[in-house]
Structure 1
């Protein structure tokens, strides 16, 4: 799809990519080895890294519309299959279930520790990656995971302690359609079944970040409706931006995969918008080129049919 025709925004040309999966990292304390998927351009050097966390139930095969786009424009994209993936079939009474949010963060840290190993597993990639420029990204539950890596503090429902689990190796974040603060704004179902959402503190996030929300995203987890998903922007400090996708529901037009059945608001134009804006942000925040980001800010400042972009 030509994003300039649908969004009015023009981006750089795409290149061919290489993809390798699964790369298996031993993780005995996890109970399951960690399966990782790496996608990267076949050319280019000093490639920044996007560490992507999938939504609840997905896996390393998801989110191709975003992963393919970022990789074809100069980024090494790393995905894992987290323990909540449907393909793993974790039993309802599995003792790991209350700690799924924490296992996700541990998965990301293991990947960061093993970047050189992952790089060496992809033909032609070794020596072409810049390990000093890493952005964490994620959708839905994955947005919380990415947020924790840059300072989001989640109160452990068992200990009552909100630890700092941020990682200094991550320079910025992109969080798509993710949860807001908890407390009495959670629905009874969310309070009972998703205890890691009961108390989230965004005030410690100082790293730059882009938050993407759909203004029709009725997740059913909060009594506040779609505006709840903007909390990661409004309640965080520092250099933050918010893309509001008009008409966007939880899958934002179809970012979780090409023509997936779970998309309730399938719309290629919305996907193209998110592809362009997230790539422009990645190129800006990693110091590659800020031109496309500046253009996006101007075009989407107000009155665009597809969305609105604001910053603070």
Structure 2
């Protein structure tokens, strides 16, 4: 996806800098914008912007104040093709940036952005569309910035409906992670260097990946993958474990078989991977993929 913030005018940034609004937390049952994105075949990505400041700063290069004010970035990614691995430059996408973004000032500033024109429909919905491009964006309420390279009307409807397509327990796990990726019946997926072939990805029912940074500064992966059959779950576990051991041997990192047995678990058709340390190459590939979508 186009790095959309590059096309906004300098006035957009000035408006943000002048703001001093402070957002407040919603009361009651927690709801996360990415919960409405969990449709079948969609890849949902959410990033804790406070934990991943370097990643967010890289994605919003040149808009440091915007990046600093962000709290969470959530993306709904619909692959245009089922090519594996996921082609990050060929996606239908919409996203929500949650942060300290006052509606009035942001939208007023966008009125002066030469690259955009104001649009509206018969229902009174308003947004800004790129004059030469597919990007549409708007701040429909304080602290919420929406963008899409498809239909803004459809994206806004999904945002406003607040459907909990991702259940609350899973959403809470995703919200607590630095980076979380979820997909229901994926047709393709990221290549995280785990050695997963296309056939395995296409036979997964649900994929949930949670990436966190530990106290030592290393990134670890917790994964919960439900396959079509118990046999496929066993095959997946063996493939990931073998690939992980091969990397440890290649990098001359000592390991214990007992620890690996606790790291890779199978329960019927579900594979659980706990605290698997990701190599620098794997994290670099993930960062490049995420940055390239913005």
TM-score bracket relative to the smaller structure: under 0.3
- Structure with the bigger RCO (C-alpha within 8 Å, sep 6+) is 2
TM-score (norm 1): 0.25
Structure that is richer in strand per residue: 2
TM-score (norm 2): 0.26
Q: Give the structure with higher Rg (CA).
A: 2
